[in-house]
Amino acid sequence: MVAPILSDLGTEILIPICAIIGIVFALFQWSLVSKVKLTAARDASPNAAGKNGYNDYLIEEEEGINDHTVVLKCAEIQNAISEGATSFLFTEYKYVGIFMVAFAVLIFVFLGSVEGFSTRHQPCTYDQTKICKPALATALFSTISFILGGITSVISGFLGMKIATYANARTTLEARKGVGKAFIVAFRSGAVMGFLLAANGLLVLYITINLFKIYYGDDWGGLFEAITGYGLGGSSMALFGRVGGGIYTKAADVGADLVGKVERNIPEDDPRNPAVIADNVGDNVGDIAGMGSDLFGSYAESSCAALVVASISSFGVNHEFTAMLYPLIISSVGILVCLLTTLFATDFFEIKTVKEIEPALKKQLIISTVFMTVGIAIVSWIALPSSFTIFNFGVQKVVKNWQLFLCVAVGLWAGLIIGFVTEYYTSNAYSPVQDVADSCRTGAATNVIFGLALGYKSVIIPIFAIAVSIFVSFTFAAMYGIAVAALGMLSTIATGLAIDAYGPISDNAGGIAEMAGMSHRIRERTDALDAAGNTTAAIGKGFAIGSAALVSLALFGAFVSRAAITTVDVLTPKVFIGLIVGAMLPYWFSAMTMKSVGKAALKMVEEVRRQFNTIPGLMEGTTKPDYATCVKISTDASIKEMIPPGALVMLTPLIVGIFFGVETLSGVLAGSLVSGVQIAISASNTGGAWDNAKKYIEAGASEHARSLGPKGSDPHKAAVIGDTIGDPLKDTSGPSLNILIKLMAVESLVFAPFFATHGGLLFKI
């Protein structure tokens, strides 16, 4: 075997430097966003007429609206949104923190009891001739990495929310100078979140591996088994963030829409609507903080799955440090590629018209994928030996470095295909969403039928893309191939997150423009930004679901290896009962989350109606509504309601593993993966399509759209009802399902030693 070109020292320098470059770039973007002042001082810089060809004299002054009061109002609204989001997240993290401590104790006790809390060294799991560190060490270090993963996940979500609430009003103010300026502020802010998350995740994982190595020395199998706790911590926090944030945002959204738009005929984000602040807070805690934690979890788990399999392959056995950290090197190069890609949106090309927004965001995906393919080829050439072996269920399979390159590349391109298919089914520029909008002519029922059909149909191509990437990567490099394919899909995570976070920031900007009483021209611009953001959010969810499927399968492979199962035979009753129960779990989970949103929305609707009926002068705009009560309803409901779905996901592997054993658990994991992916894709796309069908009618950009409008017409009301039904699908159940399938797999992997030793109590009786 020829040693890789990149030396171990080179790897030790490359990974942290790329992570630091990512953090510095994020801070640089943030400094540019902060130049937009939330004070009423006129921009007197000499190059005021610079970028995007717009002069900075403000449209408002032509239209006779006092500039000073508008800016102050924007600052005031931004402050209210930021405070609401911060206080909700602190409340959520308080409860999640208690869970984290309890679960950390559980990990330590369960894994420590594998060898009866003995501190003696023991024969290695995969090679009985060698002596490895005691099970108690794995228990301790798994617990530490679990806590680290959880904290990093929470920080990722919190930072994202802070950046988004910092940028929303600034985007609104820039929209006065033209759509291009507003786009750049929203996109830069998304990039801050994307790069901070990608770089922090990489840096913390890299430092953790090096610190654990001090104790583990040459026992790399034990070292990387302990590292799997990092993925578990990341995803378990993401689950609560996604479910809690999703319930919060949709309870407010449904309440605001049903009473405001349908009953009272007032526009979206009208300041007279009592639920409007809660709705805007929700965008930040659900779509930003929840999604940040979610994608961080995917990234951590795919890295952990690849590292576990690599540690029992030739990389780990021969202690080849550079080849071992191949997954981290891919992520490092990904940061550099995304940095270059971001400049295409903010510096190399200018956006002058509304029509250019969506293509600019699409180009981000294409450019990052093309550059990343080159990056992966270089990394595979310099960081891998020309030939090596990969552990494949008990045997070592010989793999060439070009085969591993193809595994990562197929994951990367499958991600792009899933992104584009999602865009086709959720963007109102294409016929599927236009058909859904057209069906509103005959009322809400036909709209719902068309929307559901669209969601089911949108599953077909993504599933084929996932199937092809699984087949190619497994054929070339067994389960390791699937793990790196998932990493390939997530290698451009910084760009993906930038595009994704851009959506809620634009949505908030539109809300602030409406509440601050800005002119309809400004609102049109923010609406255009928001409609593009809706589609990109759906693309982001597509990526998250596709990568979750691959990650989950890779973790499943690692679990099967660790639990010493040679084959998973569907024909044995033990496995089949697991399979059928596993396939049911996503439905049970979706039922819980949908019902939670419904219950919270019910309270919200009642409260909004009460305020409209009892507060004199509210509809006339002479008195202010009581925003705080609506914020409290959303907060209380989401904290209370996130616990049962979370418990379902976290307890299922433990109960099945302890009472029914590893074979039944392998069935449960396979079943939940297969059914969860389908429901997640269809739910996300159905909701996204309904939302954009409503926006299509509201914008009235084409002859067809104008024939369905204007706002307040019967077809528009039918579209609003469809959008309201789709809200919990696309922002609560759909995105949370991808965490369900990953989390159960990574949890099973972490507890695999315990289940293999003490599990299956019912079958032992």
- Predicted confidence at residue 63, as pLDDT, reads 41
184: in domain? yes
- Of 228, 200, 201, 197, whose CA–CA distance to 212 is shortest? 228
48: in domain? no
pTM across the whole model = 0.90
- Of 552, 482, 129, whose CA–CA distance to 309 is shortest? 482
- Predicted confidence at residue 342, as pLDDT, reads 92
Question: What does the alpha-carbon distance between residue 156 and residue 616 come to, in Å, rounded to a whole number?
Answer: 43
On average, the pLDDT of the chain sits at 88
Quick check: 537 and 186 in contact, CB under 8 A? Answer: no
Instruction: Encode pLDDT of 154-173 as tens digits.
Output: 998 898 899 999 999 999 99
- Predicted confidence at residue 3, as pLDDT, reads 74
Question: What does the alpha-carbon distance between residue 686 and residue 679 come to, in Å, rounded to a whole number?
Answer: 10
Interval 348-373 mean pLDDT = 88
- Predicted confidence at residue 518, as pLDDT, reads 87
478: in domain? yes
Quick check: 160 and 288 in contact, CB under 8 A? Answer: yes
Q: Which domain holds residue 545?
A: 13-35+67-763
* Band of pLDDT at residue 1, cut at 50, 70 and 90: low
* Band of pLDDT at residue 61, cut at 50, 70 and 90: very low
| Distance from the Cα of residue 46 to its chain's centroid | 41
Question: What does the alpha-carbon distance between residue 557 and residue 305 come to, in Å, rounded to a whole number?
Answer: 9
55: in domain? no
Question: What does the alpha-carbon distance between residue 488 and residue 413 come to, in Å, rounded to a whole number?
Answer: 8
Paired with 397 in beta bridges are 390
Quick check: 260 and 630 in contact, CB under 8 A? Answer: no
Interval 608-625 mean pLDDT = 90
Write the DSSP assignment of 544-574 as a string of letters.
Answer: HHHHHHHHHHHHHHHHHHHTT-S---TTSHH
Say yes or no to pLDDT of 56 above 50.
no
Instruction: Encode pLDDT of 485-495 as tens digits.
Output: 999 999 999 99
Say yes or no to pLDDT of 392 above 90.
no
558: in domain? yes
Higher-confidence position of 457 and 760: 457
60: in domain? no
Instruction: Encode pLDDT of 578-599 as tens digits.
Output: 999 999 999 999 999 999 999 9
Exposure class string for 244-257: b at 16+ Cβ within 10 A, else e: bbbbbbbbbbbbbb
The total number of structural domains that make up the chain: 1
Higher-confidence position of 656 and 709: 656
Interval 407-428 mean pLDDT = 92
Interval 16-33 mean pLDDT = 94
Say yes or no to pLDDT of 576 above 80.
yes
- Listed range (77-91, 271-285, 528-542) with the worst mean pLDDT: 528-542
- Predicted confidence at residue 261, as pLDDT, reads 80
Token couple for 211: 């610190």
User: Which H or E element spans position 397?
Assistant: strand 395-400
Question: What does the alpha-carbon distance between residue 653 and residue 283 come to, in Å, rounded to a whole number?
Answer: 32
Interval 120-148 mean pLDDT = 85
* Band of pLDDT at residue 45, cut at 50, 70 and 90: very low
* Band of pLDDT at residue 750, cut at 50, 70 and 90: very high
Quick check: 403 and 477 in contact, CB under 8 A? Answer: yes
Say yes or no to pLDDT of 58 above 80.
no
Token couple for 210: 């090096």
- Predicted confidence at residue 66, as pLDDT, reads 54
43: in domain? no
- Predicted confidence at residue 259, as pLDDT, reads 87
As a three-state string, the secondary structure of 462-530 is HHHHHHHHHHHHHHHHHHHHHHHHHHHHHCCHHHHHHHHHHHHHHHHHHHHHHHCCCCHHHHHHHHHHH
Say yes or no to pLDDT of 542 above 90.
no
The span from the first CA to the last CA of the chain, in angstroms, equals: 50
Question: What does the alpha-carbon distance between residue 388 and residue 401 come to, in Å, rounded to a whole number?
Answer: 8
Which residues, at least 6 apart from 184, have a Cβ–Cβ distance to it below 8 Å?
51, 52, 174, 345, 346, 351
Identify the DSSP state of 441.
G
137: in domain? yes
What does residue 675 show for φ and ψ, rounded to 5 degrees? -85, -30
Say yes or no to pLDDT of 142 above 90.
yes
Say yes or no to pLDDT of 213 above 80.
yes
